[in-house]
Amino acid sequence: MLFLVSVAGQIGSQTDPPYSAAKAGLINFMQCAAKDLAPYNVRVNALSPGMVKTDLNESVWRASQVNLPPAERQSYESWASEKIRKISPLGQWQTPAELAAMAVFLASDRARNITGQTLNIDGGQVMHA
């Protein structure tokens, strides 16, 4: 079993506390499920992405520009590059393909002793926080 959570569930998000709380709750639920299902050889883990370049991030950018004077507005690419450099020690966006690769690994026999874990695919964001 695999949950998709967020680094916000581990380090919080000043801009969206309810989202952070919901993701933290999922992490805790995953750990309880891992413990409960272990006797049945069911592994339960969570993938925790950091910054994934999606339509959601583009809407955050749009909202951040609304009240700025035209001279201070940034293009999406400029805003995104600056944001990821500030947040992620590796300075790069995470991709859906990276999450998928970890999900495939966790579903494989090579991960047979991994359960109850939150795996961060975040460019070092949680470590940096």
| Residues belonging to the active site | 19
Pair 46, 4: CB distance under 8 Å: yes
Find residue 2's DSSP bridge partners.
45
C-alpha gyration radius of the chain: 17
CB atoms within 10 A of CB 77: 9
Direct distance between the N- and C-terminal alpha carbons of the chain, in angstroms, rounded to an integer: 28
